[in-house]
Structures are given as structure tokens and as C-alpha cells.
């Protein structure tokens, strides 16, 4: 339970830092570099220093999370620490919550973990199909998560935060616009 609260604190720190960066001069400089690096340099943004600072900030937050995780897990190797399912889940968390918002990935993480617990049978109301054996349950859960990824990318490309945030409504025009935005 201690590590749960420690990771919640680290997540709160990461969200606060992200919130600060997006609303500071540093964040505006990073946005300018993202949009057009040459133009950012012309208006006086030291692009090299900003990129190095952004790299260092990302490394510090990653190091914080990795340090807490290593103390919790004690033994780390590539097979038990970073399976491909974790990578897919991290991408799905960001896409599910919304990549253009500060709180979107956090909301996506909560929603995805609730769904995983539901599919795994850990919640009082859980996923139980009579024709799925207990050995096949993890495979079926991964297939369902993969289908969820496809549905989110096609129908809710800006995430559930934007979808339920009042800026967009479920309608035929929204779905048409989503499909048009994602088509080649």
C-alpha cells in the first residue's frame, strides 16, 4: 500500500510538472520548436538548450517512476518488467484518455485499469463468459484491449476526456468528422 501511495504521489508530481510546463515560457518555447524549429530560433528561442532541458525533465520524471518501481519489484529484468503488454497498455492509456490534454492520460490509465480488472475477474462485477476457459481468459482480455484500441482510434481519436467533456457530442456528424479526420 505504501508503494501505491508513493506512485500516486509521483503521478501527481508528473501531472503538476506537465501542467506547469504547458503554461510557462518554457512550454511555449517547446511548442514553438515543435511547430517550426527554424522560426523558433529566429524569434530568440535557444532550441538546443530547450531540447536538452526537456530531455532532462523527461529523464528526471522517468527516473523517479523507475526508482520507485525498482524498490517495489526488487528484481528487474526485461522479461518480467517490460513485456509487450505493458507497452500496448501505455499507448492505450494515452489514446483512451486523450493525448492533447494534461489529465487525459491519467484518466485513460484509471479507465484502462478498471477495464483490465473487470476482464480479469478482480472486481465484484466481472467479465465472465461461460465458453472461455480460465487459461484462455488473458488471451481474450488482450484481444478485447486490442479491439478497444482500434475503436478508440477510429471513433474517439481525441480521447474520452474530449468526448465527455462537453466539447463534442455523440452524433452522426461527430462520427462522420472522426472518420474523415482519420481517413487517408
pLDDT tens readout for residues 24-35: 999 999 999 999
**Both 157 and 120 in a single domain?**
yes
**Both 75 and 97 in a single domain?**
no
Q: What is the pLDDT of residue 85?
A: 76
Cβ 97 vs Cβ 87: under 8 Å: no
Q: In terms of C-beta density within 10 A (0-12 exposed, 13-18 middle, 19 or more buried), how is residue 171 classed?
A: exposed
The C-alpha cell that represents 56 in the structure block: 532532462
pLDDT band at 168 (very low <50, low <70, confident <90, very high): very low
**Higher pLDDT, residue 174 or 168:** 174
In tens, the pLDDT along 109-120 reads 888 888 877 776
- Going by C-beta distance under 8 Å and a sequence separation of 6 or more, which residues neighbour residue 161? 97, 98, 101, 103, 104, 107
End position of a domain, from candidates 80, 109, 135: 80
**Both 149 and 93 in a single domain?**
yes
**Higher pLDDT, residue 57 or 174:** 57
Q: What is the pLDDT of residue 174?
A: 56
End position of a domain, from candidates 80, 97, 127: 80
End position of a domain, from candidates 36, 64, 80: 80
**Both 118 and 170 in a single domain?**
yes
**Both 23 and 68 in a single domain?**
yes
**Both 94 and 65 in a single domain?**
no
**Both 64 and 45 in a single domain?**
yes
In tens, the pLDDT along 109-150 reads 888 888 877 776 554 555 566 666 767 777 777 787 788 888
Rounded distance between C-alpha atoms, residue 152 and residue 174, angstroms: 14
The C-alpha cell that represents 34 in the structure block: 515543435
Domain hosting residue 40, numbered range: 2-80
Q: What is the pLDDT of residue 183?
A: 54
**Both 40 and 56 in a single domain?**
yes
- The number of distinct structural domains making up the chain is 2
Rounded distance between C-alpha atoms, residue 64 and residue 60, angstroms: 6
The C-alpha cell that represents 58 in the structure block: 523527461
Report the predicted TM-score, pTM, of the whole model to 2 decimal places. 0.70
**Both 17 and 48 in a single domain?**
yes
Q: What is the pLDDT of residue 35?
A: 93
Amino acid at each position: 500500500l505504501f508503494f501505491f501511495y508513493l506512485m500516486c504521489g509521483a503521478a501527481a508530481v508528473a501531472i503538476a510538472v506537465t501542467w506547469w510546463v504547458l503554461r510557462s515560457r518554457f512550454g511555449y518555447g517547446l511548442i514553438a520548436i515543435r511547430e517550426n524549429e527554424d522560426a523558433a530560433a529566429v524569434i530568440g528561442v535557444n532550441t538546443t538548450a530547450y531540447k536538452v532541458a526537456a530531455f532532462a525533465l523527461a529523464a528526471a520524471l522517468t527516473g523517479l517512476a523507475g526508482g520507485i518501481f525498482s524498490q517495489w519489484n526488487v528484481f528487474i529484468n526485461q522479461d518480467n518488467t517490460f513485456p509487450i503488454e505493458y507497452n500496448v497498455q501505455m499507448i492505450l492509456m494515452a489514446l483512451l484518455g486523450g493525448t492533447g490534454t494534461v489529465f487525459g492520460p491519467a484518466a485513460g490509465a484509471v479507465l484502462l485499469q478498471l477495464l483490465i480488472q473487470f476482464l480479469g475477474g478482480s472486481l465484484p462485477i466481472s467479465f465472465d463468459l461461460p465458453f472461455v476457459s480460465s487459461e484462455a481468459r488473458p488471451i481474450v482480455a488482450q484481444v478485447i484491449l486490442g479491439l478497444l484500441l482500434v475503436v478508440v482510434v477510429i471513433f474517439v481519436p481525441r480521447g474520452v476526456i474530449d468526448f465527455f467533456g462537453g466539447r463534442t457530442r455523440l452524433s452522426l456528424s461527430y462520427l462522420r468528422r472522426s472518420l474523415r479526420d482519420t481517413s487517408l
